[in-house]
Amino acid sequence: MSLGIKRYINAAIIIIIIIIIIIIIIIIIIIIMWGIRVIIPPKLRPHVLHYGYMGVVKMKVIARSYIWSPGIDKAIEQTAKSYPGCQIMQKEPSTVTVHP
């Protein structure tokens, strides 16, 4: 083989390797991202879903804009019900005077 052909073969091999690396990176990004949201693995969901208490509705809004996981609404509601800090911060229902 001449020197020119070896250069073309080496360049082609390098290009193929670069294309394979780009495809792998794209697949990883697709697996980790759902649009602009991050997909949270099941083991990490309990740690991610609760960060301070701001109310169930606000927690849902913030969570939906940054992360994605199946059943996120239900998980946030369960977290808010079971977390002691959330229970303390919940508003007490107003008392109603009994009319005779």
pLDDT tens-digit profile of 17-51?
A: 999 999 888 877 766 777 778 877 777 776 776 66
Q: Is the distance from CB of 80 to CB of 86 less than 8 angstroms? A: yes
Run of H or E including 39: strand 37-39
pTM: 0.50
The closest of 45, 52, 44, 47 to 86, measured between CA atoms, is: 52
The amino acid present at 18, given as its one-letter code, is: I
pLDDT tens-digit profile of 57-84?
A: 888 888 888 887 788 888 888 877 777 6
Q: Is the distance from CB of 33 to CB of 63 less than 8 angstroms? A: no
